[in-house]
Amino acid sequence: MGCSFLQKGWFIVVGFLCFSLIWDVDAGVTLEGTVFVDGRSPIAKTDKDFICATLDWWPPEKCDYGTCSWGQASLLNLDLKNTVFLNAIRAFSPLKIRLGGTLQDKVIYQTEDNPKPCNSFTKNSSVLFGFTEGCLPLARWDELNSFFNQSGALIIFGLNALNGKTIQLDNTATGPWNPTNAASLIRYTVKKGYNIYGWELGNELSGHGVGVGIPVDQYAADTVVLHDLIQDIYKETSLKPLTIGPGGFFDAGWFQQYIAKTNGSLNVITHHIYNLGPGSDEHLIDRILNPSILDSGGDDFPRLQSIVNSSGTSAVAWVGEAGGAYNSGRNQVTNAFVFSFWYLNQLGMASAHDTKTYCRQSLIGGNYGLLNTTTFNPNPDYYSALLWHRLMGRYVLSTNFTGTNMIRAYAHCSKESRGVTLLLINLDGNTTVHAAPDISGTSIEVHKRRRHHRHRSKVILLPHNKQLSVPTREEYHLTPLDGNIRSQTVLLNGKPLTVDSSGAIPALEPSFFNSSEPITVAPYSIVFVHLPSVAIQASSLLRVPFFEIWNSTERLRSYTSGSETYPCPKLNS
């Protein structure tokens, strides 16, 4: 079959471009190809807690295209006593959560020195963003922080960047940011001992903005003010929250100037992604399954990476918000199995271009929540995110699949375990793919490393031998219930993933396969493959600057000189 040969008990898949097609009337098309992974030198490094999700301010009255999909998912009314909600966050240990969205720039914070009664958002189509100004009650801020402490989440809070500004007729917001209200909230937060991972200034106000924009000179000056405020208020603490901005859509010229004009005050530069168009698009699934559109959705990653690398900044790039389809997404599409094709492909492209964190819109709310807005039960993308978080390590390996452009392939050093983890996404609903891994710069470990079979351009199936134990791999196959890609129930290795009666998130258990056999990727399926017996050779090293975002209780730290050198299996230890 194609480029497979059987000789003296050895099955060798030759690592040059070759594949074959076989037609089966019942099963459709079967295709053989090779997934090439360059294990000699990782190409990028993510945060350990790369996965992030958002919580928004939208009230129940937020409607799009005649559908109101937010329910009780606002930061102001979300049920913080829901057991499934708590367990869903705890399962990540930790999950980054960004608090923000469109209405964050219309939020006033009730504080001890501003105890006036809080008014809720009120729908008004004649004002900016369609809602009047709203207020975060101090008691609610206490409740939120108590919940976040329980869940172990790492919190990024989006501050109101329009406070003190005047909106001109051309929809430009002018004048300096008034930090008084934000400073009061931050001081109270420090006083109460609440842990905030980062403070972000503004939401989609960069460039031309969405509804209103802030000129780059003023936005940079406002960011410097926030940075200095954080340094002052947290002066008694050794680990300070990150200064983050601008939380808008990528504009190369604007972002380049913004980085330069913030004068080293910026720790993280964030951009948003809604490349699929409006949620009202009836052809949204066709766009998700189109390889060209998926590829174009990653155009901004290398462009931002280039700007960051050439600017001399110590700031790193995050995706601060990504829902794919704007205006709350589309029911039975952006909350269904099919959306994992877009989402996981985004995670793969972003990480390959040194994006450190990727925040999904949303954790709950709208039609693109990782959790169901009413029941809190996980949608398919929740499990995709959780598997990524548990399996895909920080170090990214160059990966390429030959055979069809309907397979998306990504590889990382495995997380908190030895070896390499592959991610294979099959966009084709009629083709089964047999993928042979070809990992250069590695050895296959056999019998607990007592004997090695080294290879660069071939994958070897060892003959049955009583003196050798054939290495195995772990596979996690995700498929939709009843083969329906619009399903909101996902199967893991053929079994539905559902929470139990106590609200516990189900265990994600792998199936085991002989490592030398090709990986079978069914039509419309996603496969994570952990190859624990593949070890990057000692000569395969990554040299990176001594700079990184540290997770959990640690914050941004930089070292003045030197580099770190690790072989892949130990990178995530």
* Beta strands at 198-201 and 242-249: parallel, antiparallel or unpaired: parallel
Asked whether residue 351 carries a pLDDT value surpassing 50, the answer given is: yes
The verdict on residue 28 lying in a domain is: no
The verdict on residue 186 lying in a domain is: yes
Mean pLDDT score of the chain, rounded to an integer? 87
Predicted local distance difference test score (pLDDT) of residue 201: 98
Q: How far apart are CA 16 and CA 178, in angstroms?
A: 61
Number of Cβ within a 10 Å radius of residue 286 = 10
Whether 548 is catalytic is no
Give the number of domains in the chain. Answer: 1
Query: What three-state secondary structure class fits 240?
Result: coil
pLDDT band at 25 (very low <50, low <70, confident <90, very high): very low
* Beta strands at 325-326 and 277-278: parallel, antiparallel or unpaired: parallel
Q: What is the mean pLDDT of residues 415-429?
A: 95
The verdict on residue 442 lying in a domain is: no
Predicted local distance difference test score (pLDDT) of residue 550: 30
Q: How far apart are CA 260 and CA 257, in angstroms?
A: 5
Domain region containing 276: 47-394
From 282, 269, 364, 292, select the one nearest 323 (Cα to Cα).
364
Quote the Cα angle for 537-541-545, to 5°: 165
Which one of the listed residues 200, 204, 445, 548 is annotated catalytic? 204
Q: How far apart are CA 230 and CA 241, in angstroms?
A: 7
Strand partners, 52: 96, 359
Q: What's the CA dihedral at 259, 267, 218, 319 to 10 degrees? A: 80
- DSSP class per residue in 480-521: EGGG-TT-S-EEETTEE----TT-PPPP-PPEEEETTSPEEE
The verdict on residue 495 lying in a domain is: no
pLDDT single digits (tens) 36-74: 999 888 999 999 999 999 999 999 999 999 999 999 999
Start-to-end Cα distance in the chain: 40
Contact 358, 350 (CB under 8 A): yes
The verdict on residue 533 lying in a domain is: no
Predicted local distance difference test score (pLDDT) of residue 568: 63
Number of Cβ within a 10 Å radius of residue 269 = 26
The verdict on residue 466 lying in a domain is: no
The verdict on residue 515 lying in a domain is: no
Q: Which element (helix H / strand E) includes 158?
A: strand 154-159
Q: Higher model confidence: residue 477 or residue 454? A: 477
Which one of the listed residues 32, 200, 321, 475 is annotated catalytic? 321
Asked whether residue 573 carries a pLDDT value surpassing 70, the answer given is: no
Q: What is the mean pLDDT of residues 391-412?
A: 97
Predicted local distance difference test score (pLDDT) of residue 138: 97
Q: How far apart are CA 262 and CA 565, in angstroms?
A: 32
Range of weakest confidence among 164-178, 459-473, 557-571: 557-571
Q: Which two tokens stand for residue 437?
A: 């891994």
Range of weakest confidence among 113-127, 172-186, 256-270, 515-529: 113-127
Name the percent of the chain lying above pLDDT 70: 83
Q: Which two tokens stand for residue 500?
A: 């139990």
pTM, two decimals, is: 0.88
The verdict on residue 100 lying in a domain is: yes
Q: What is the CATH number of the domain that holds 194?
A: 3.20.20.80
Range of weakest confidence among 9-13, 15-19, 320-324: 9-13
